[in-house]
Amino acid sequence: MLFDESNRLRPLAHAVIPGGAHTYAKGDDQFPEEAPGFIVRGSGCHVWDADGNEFIEYGMGLRSVTLGHGYEPVVRAAARQMAEGLNFSRPATIELAAAQRLRTALGVPDRMVKFAKNGSDATSAAVKLARAFTGRDLVAVCADHPFFSTDDWFIGTTGMPAGIPDAIRALTLRYRYNDLASVEALIAAHPGQIACLVQEVETTEPPAPGFLAGLRALCDRHGILLILDEIITGFRWHLRGASYVHGVQADLTSYGKALGNGFAVAALVGRADVMALGGLHTDRERVFLLSTTYGADTHTLAATMAVLDVYEREPVIEHLHRQGRRLADGVRAAAAAHGVADFVGVAGRDSNLIYVTRDAGGERSQAFRTLFLQELIRRGVIAPSFVVSYSHTDADIDRTIEAVDGALAVYAKALSDGVEAYLVGRAVKPVFRPYV
């Protein structure tokens, strides 16, 4: 497999775009040296790179393309609306229709909705509302969840805090998932100062019995708002999200990714008394809330409603779980067959799988992750994760399991011979690192 055109374009991209990509998770440092550098087009779960190589794709646009690339009903709805105009000087009627439609789909008729273009903005808006509503400055985030926002209040807690004042960083605290005692300790150490708790409902580790209910009770007892980030879990765990699956209701919830099947849309959904601070009729100081030129462009909202139609009409969620389970079973069987089950595994909900790679000592390994990626790519699969879409067919899953089987044969040799004997070039690196 040749990557001549990708290799020609890489230095040009790095000369124009910091890091060579507009999203860190898509950067060259996240993939092997022998990998497609640029994707030209996609159809369903298949993509073609700048050199014409075809791949089965997993991750699907960082989990945003849940139905499939170029999914016809969604594209058709967006194109129809585009022909009638994208943006006007007053709200479009579709803004009301889409907000009502989302409330109905989520089963929250008493909540308010504000659309945005990305999950970072929606979650940051929730934090701002919580601070204004409670009159408190401190924010507590779950330390075990990887990402909430590009804004200072969160990035200051990561391994890339450059440019963020210490005073801002000091306003964000951290607690541990499934550890109510760590939350109680924060509250005790900062009585009456914490505005909100921010976390995902679930990532690779499910909530322990009583954890989410306990979190809700602590928030209610201490006047803290609970913010749940459903950017990933929404429309992947269930149409009504992971909150519904686990029986917990946040005060404010952010949605995105699958909501638009790749179109740039996110939403903040929350209690009316809190959201009203961003409105026109309030007896309290107003909050400047998600006011963007493109936040509710009409074609994106048309795509959003088409996505919700597909979810309600077809067994999307069931398909995601079934195909993810088939893939997970196949990966585990291949790992066992090659004697590497202790070194390669899958984790997470079937609809949102990641894989884990370990070295000969049993430690998590970026070098072995790179090798696994490299060998999958050589076999026609590009898989920064094993997140499936509605377009992944049985044939796609079977082909992927074959690719995994071949990749693990190399992995097994690398465990005994050393990874450097099989890896081409450098290993991938974590996104959050302070230096190159």
Q: Count of CB atoms within 10 A of residue 413's CB?
A: 14
Taking Cα atoms as reference points, which of 302, 228, 232, 233 lies closest to residue 270? 228
- Within 13 A of 245's CA, how many CA atoms are on the CB side? 16
Kindly report the pTM of this predicted structure.
Answer: 0.96
Average pLDDT value for the chain: 97
Copy the structure tokens of residue 228. Answer: 């749940």
With left for phi above 0 and alpha for psi between -120 and 50, is residue 201 left, alpha or beta? Answer: alpha
- Write down the pLDDT at residue 112: 98
Q: What pLDDT score was predicted for residue 405?
A: 98
Q: Quickly list DSSP for 351-379.
A: GGBEEEEB-TTS-B-HHHHHHHHHHHHHT
Residue 189 CB partners (closer than 8 Å, separation 6+): none
DSSP code at position 205: S
Domains of the chain (ranges; CATH) run: 4-70+315-421 (3.90.1150.10), 87-296 (3.40.640.10)
> What average pLDDT values come out for the chain (436 residues) when binned by 10 residues?
97 98 97 97 98 98 98 98 97 98 97 97 98 98 97 97 98 98 98 98 96 98 98 97 98 98 98 97 94 96 98 98 98 98 98 98 98 98 98 98 98 98 97 94
Beta strands 138-142 and 194-200 are parallel
pLDDT at 316: 98
| DSSP states along 63-92 | HT-SS-BT-HHHHHHHHHHHTT-S--SS--
Question: What CA–CA distance (Å, rounded) separates 202 from 237?
Answer: 10
> What burial letters (b/e) apply to 10-48, b meaning 16+ CB within 10 Å?
eeebeeeeeebbeebebbbbbbbbbbbbbbeebebbbbe
- Return the pLDDT at 255: 98
Residue 239 burial (10 A CB sphere; 0-12, 13-18, 19+): middle
Amino acid (one-letter) located at 361: G
Q: Which pLDDT belongs to residue 397?
A: 98
User: Locate tokens 């929404």: which residue?
Assistant: 234
3-state secondary structure (DSSP) of residue 269: strand
Of 125, 78, 326, which Cα lies nearest the Cα of 225? 125
Dist CA 16 CA 11 (whole Å): 9
pLDDT tens for each residue of 76-94: 999 999 999 999 999 999 9
